[in-house]
């Protein structure tokens, strides 16, 4: 039950990130000038920018409820003191802090630092939720023993790069540097533009790091295909490879169409998807038993002590 609930929460979280991007892209962030109410009520007229902004708030409230329900289900399955329980509690703490940050973005009229921190915390929660979703699955708990350190390293490297790229992208978005380089694939008509303005530096840095993410993703995918015969890591590697190529295309289209919501919003959603797949890949390789057999010829038991207790469902 916990796995199914966390899976639903993961989809809900991705939808929330998409809604948040639509709110910003349609300039609806301050359509409700007060918080937590909207024009003094919880049921405002859902028209124009209010529709997107208040829907985003309501969806965020639904996320809190859904995650709490999933955590209650987990609490009944996991033994006291397990890492699963502590991880789930950390998720609730992140959601509460995230709610406060969401309110502060409105109260203080969208300061860049708070708005960027809001997205960063959302991505951190997504990563934590991905871990919970994977380790409560039957596939993770019943996977064959083997050395998963390569998967773990590849996933963690990708997750770190995607997270950094996403935060840089948030800074580009919230500082209005999205069209500091108005042309693609060049920037101000050059491969390396004149970096004498901070907005150009920020935008070009986002592009350069994006290229690095694409190259590392391609290398990691090739490594997984060569070293792993398991379906899940290979599917994740394939998803990452397709996703990063689509992300590059969406990045170009976002600039070409002057940050149109139809291109910018999927760009954010795909970044979240890449982060989740990277974390899932790292988690799949976590705490696996070494290859080989014990002295009596039996396969060695995997060490699940850190995540023990949640029977898959």
| pLDDT confidence bin for 285, thresholds 50/70/90 | confident
Give 129-186 pLDDT, tens digit per residue: 999 999 999 888 888 777 788 889 999 999 999 999 999 999 999 999 999 999 999 9
Q: If you average pLDDT over residues 108-123, what whole number do you get?
A: 92
Percent of the chain with pLDDT over 70: 91
What's the confidence (pLDDT) of residue 288?
Answer: 56
Q: If you average pLDDT over residues 198-219, what whole number do you get?
A: 95
Three-state DSSP class for residue 190 = strand
- The answer, yes or no, to whether the previous bond of 268 is cis (omega within 30 of 0) is no
What's the confidence (pLDDT) of residue 313?
Answer: 56
Residue 140 corresponds to which tokens in the numbers above? 């993770």
Residue 22 corresponds to which tokens in the numbers above? 């639509």
Q: Is 126 within 8 Å of 185 (Cβ atoms)?
A: no
Biggest alpha carbon–alpha carbon distance for the chain: 71
Give 179-201 pLDDT, tens digit per residue: 999 999 999 999 999 999 999 99
Contacts of 272 (CB under 8 A, 6+ apart): 13, 14, 17, 123, 126, 166
Q: If you average pLDDT over residues 20-35, what whole number do you get?
A: 93
Three-state DSSP class for residue 275 = helix
Provide the mean pLDDT of the chain: 89
């Amino acid at each position: 039950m916990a796995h199914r609930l966390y899976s639903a929460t993961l989809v809900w979280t991705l939808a929330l990130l998409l809604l948040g991007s639509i709110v910003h892209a349609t300039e609806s962030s301050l359509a409700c000038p007060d918080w937590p109410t909207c024009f003094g009520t919880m049921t405002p007229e859902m028209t124009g920018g209010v529709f997107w902004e208040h829907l985003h708030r309501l969806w965020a409230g639904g996320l809190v409820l859904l995650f709490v329900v999933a955590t209650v289900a987990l609490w009944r399955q996991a033994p006291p003191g397990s890492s699963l329980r502590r991880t789930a509690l950390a998720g609730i703490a992140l959601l509460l802090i995230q709610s406060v940050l969401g309110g502060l973005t409105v109260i203080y009229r969208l300061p860049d630092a708070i708005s960027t921190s809001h997205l960063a915390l959302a991505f951190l929660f997504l990563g934590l939720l991905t871990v919970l979703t994977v380790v409560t699955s039957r596939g993770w708990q019943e996977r064959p023993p083997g050395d998963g350190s390569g998967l773990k390293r590849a996933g963690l490297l990708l997750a770190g790069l995607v997270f950094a790229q996403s935060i840089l992208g948030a800074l580009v978005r919230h500082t209005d540097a999205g069209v500091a380089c108005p042309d693609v694939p060049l920037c101000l008509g050059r491969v390396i533009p004149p970096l004498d303005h901070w907005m150009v530096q920020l935008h070009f840095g986002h592009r350069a790091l994006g290229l690095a993410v694409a190259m590392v993703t391609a290398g990691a995918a090739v490594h997984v295909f060569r070293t792993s015969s398991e379906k899940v890591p290979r599917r994740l590697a394939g998803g990452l490879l397709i996703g990063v190529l689509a992300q590059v295309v969406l990045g170009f289209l976002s600039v070409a169409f002057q940050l149109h919501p139809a291109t910018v919003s999927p760009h954010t959603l795909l970044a979240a998807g890449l982060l989740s797949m990277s974390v899932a890949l790292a988690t799949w390789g976590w705490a696996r038993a070494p290859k080989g057999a014990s002295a009596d010829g039996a396969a060695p038991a995997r060490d699940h002590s850190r995540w023990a207790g949640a029977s898959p469902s």
